[in-house]
Amino acid sequence: MALIRTGLQRLASIFSSGHGGFGLFSRFATQNHCISETTKDVISTCNKLIEERSSRNFAIVHLLGKQWRVTDGDLLVVEGYWPPNIGDNITLDKVMLAATKDFSLIGRPLVQPGLVTVTATVISKGLSHTKTHFKKKRRKQYMRINFQRNEQTMLRINSVVIANKINESPKNVF
């Protein structure tokens, strides 16, 4: 009985105007204020790390239906038809995550446009190695051999740059 009484007293004190005159809402207001201060602190430290560029950046990029983890100087072999020609410089726009060893920027599902810039160069285009498909049924005199080669594009990642500060407008605004 005493446990129920103390619980009811706590509820009454929460809903009463004992905490700054607002009751229940004053608690939420102070909690949101604390959360916003910590968020501002985290964002400012991340912005300082972006300016220093002290560590190597990496990103997870969505490209032709697959996700790739890329850093500066990586080589990607992408299977399937892809229109860019050899020597073209391209920008990979679908960045799902960008990070350093100190912090991560996670997109929902993509990181804010203009915040992270991933550039790549098309190195070569060609066909993959020959894949053999062999079918046989025993004692039925049935045997088939098929060969398959898929188109491939090789990319070199030039740079992964966190271009802007977090929570600021993009630099290339008209």
Tens of pLDDT, residue by residue over 73-120, are 999 999 988 899 999 999 999 999 998 888 888 888 998 888 889 999
- How many helices (H) and strands (E) in the chain? 2, 10
Together in a domain, 37 and 114:
no
List, for residues 15-65, the tens digit of each pLDDT value: 665 544 454 445 454 444 555 777 777 777 777 777 777 678 899 999 988
* Res 35: pLDDT: 56
Q: Reply yes or no on whether the pLDDT at 146 is more than 90.
A: yes
Name the residue range of residue 157's domain: 55-167
Let me know if residue 40 belongs to a domain: yes
Mean of the pLDDT values across residues 145-156?
Answer: 95
Let me know if residue 18 belongs to a domain: yes
Together in a domain, 64 and 132:
yes
Number of domains composing the chain: 2
Let me know if residue 173 belongs to a domain: no
Q: How many CA atoms lie within 13 A of 69 on its CB side?
A: 4
Q: Which DSSP string corresponds to 146-172?
A: EEE--EEEEEEEEEEEE-S-TTS--TT
* Res 163: pLDDT: 77
Together in a domain, 133 and 157:
yes
In angstroms, the CA 91 to CA 98 distance is 15
Nearest-5° Cα angle at 83, 97 to 69: 20
Let me know if residue 155 belongs to a domain: yes
